[in-house]
Copies of this chain bind each other. A is one copy, B any other.
Amino acid sequence: MVDSRRVPVGIVGASGYGGVQLVRLLIDHPDVEIVYMGGDSTAGKAFGDIYPHLGHAVSLKVEAVDPVAIQQRCEIVFLSVPNGLACQLAPQLVANGCKVLDLSADYRFSNLSTYTTWYGKERTDNETAASSVYGLPELYRERIAEAQLVGCPGCYPTASLLALSPLLKQGLIVPETAIIDAKSGTSGGGREAKIGMLLAEADNSIAAYNVARHRHTPEIEQICSELAGHEVTVQFTPHLIPMVRGILSTVYATLRDPGLVRDDLITIYRAFYRNSPWVRVCDGGIFPQTKWACGSNLCYIGIEVDTRTRRVIVMSAIDNLIKGQAGQAVQCMNLMMGWDETLGLPKLGFYP
């Protein structure tokens, strides 16, 4: 039975890693109740058949994806589906009054032609897309609070933009010198059976992939350009790391003012994130470990200045499935509902 004091929420695509994180976080959230779980490939199954360890905590069955049923039962809907599917569901859900949080790439781009170029799909939902807000609360808190549709950022863009934003916003770096060398655990690849993601293949190894052509590049550039006030091109290289969770972005950029020292930048970052409870700027000489963030919605940022090269090096660490995905979506939901943005989210990593 639905608890009438709790807001009814639905999850489309509950069986993937994004979905199971959402399930976990929303069960622990004090003000919502999961009333619908949808997924075409797993329709009809109990959630406990997919994740046996959650069978005792989730009694819902996965249902076929039916927008009419969703909008009748849910006030809030999370879309945790492959790119290109959310844009087939969101317009109707939005039109019928649902608040929608899309975890795919479909509603991240203000310019749909960028989406079509990088994702290879034509779009016709221009009006819906135009209404969506990019779900990075640290930059767009106010707009998210008023949005009905949020396009939640990718995991790499979340880590990378939190590292880069203060520098670009304050004009501290030469934008075109920005290089992002990012490292991710393999859960970022999703719960799909792929040979390259087998433990026997991916463990005890590291490699770059999609060098110079990863789809998160235009997403990062869109926000960087907005912050810089002009078109910015960045270098972005993702690497696969032999670990389950976590992203570290190591960002390099040349400082405009060679007189800036590390402590100046720490001060600037702390001011920039003063009202952002999920960002922690480390003391000088401390460089964040992804493990610190794992299990929490936190982003840890470390800063160094190399006076020999005039570069700033910024490292940001997040849990790719929490702050990089499901946790950030819940943070956005909190804002959309007028709740405290920390509500129901894990505040401390499960170290070690």
Interface segment out of the listed A81-89, A95-103, A106-114, A205-213: A205-213
Check B252 against A179 for contact (C-beta < 8 Å).
yes
Residues of chain B within 8 A of A248, CB atoms compared? 206-208, 239
Closest to A202 in B: B199
CA distance A117 to B210 in the complex (A): 40
**Could you tell me which residues of chain A, from 19 to 75, have a CB within 8 Å of some CB in chain B?**
20, 24, 27-28, 51-57
Residue tally, chain A, CB below 8 Å to B: 86
Residues of chain B within 8 A of A212, CB atoms compared? 304-306, 308-309, 313
One of B52, B191, B203 near A282 (C-beta < 8 A): B52
**Could you tell me which residues of chain A, from 318 to 343, have a CB within 8 Å of some CB in chain B?**
321
Residues of chain B within 8 A of A130, CB atoms compared? none
Let me know if A181 is at the binding interface, CB within 8 A.
Answer: yes
Check B57 against A347 for contact (C-beta < 8 Å).
yes
Check A198 against B186 for contact (C-beta < 8 Å).
yes
One of B28, B202, B246, B350 near A24 (C-beta < 8 A): B350
CA distance A295 to B193 in the complex (A): 25
Closest to A211 in B: B304
CA distance A309 to B54 in the complex (A): 32
Let me know if A13 is at the binding interface, CB within 8 A.
Answer: no
Contact indicator per residue, chain A 268-293, by CB within 8 Å of chain B (1) or not (0): 00000000000010110011111111
Check A317 against B20 for contact (C-beta < 8 Å).
no
Residues of chain B within 8 A of A242, CB atoms compared? 199, 203, 241-243
Check B191 against A193 for contact (C-beta < 8 Å).
no
CA distance A284 to B17 in the complex (A): 25
Question: With contacts A235-B311, A293-B53, A348-B57 known, is A186 near B200, CB below 8 A?
Answer: yes
Let me know if A187 is at the binding interface, CB within 8 A.
Answer: yes
**Chain A positions near chain B (C-beta within 8 angstroms):** 17, 20, 24, 27-28, 51-57, 176, 179, 181, 183, 185-187, 189, 191-195, 197-209, 211-212, 233-235, 237, 239, 241-246, 248, 250, 252, 280, 282-283, 286-295, 298, 300, 302, 304-306, 308-309, 311, 313, 315, 317, 321, 347-352
A-B contact pairs, 19 of them (CB 8 A): A20-B352, A27-B348, A185-B204, A186-B198, A191-B198, A201-B352, A203-B203, A203-B204, A205-B290, A207-B289, A207-B290, A207-B317, A208-B250, A209-B287, A211-B287, A211-B304, A212-B308, A212-B309, A350-B350
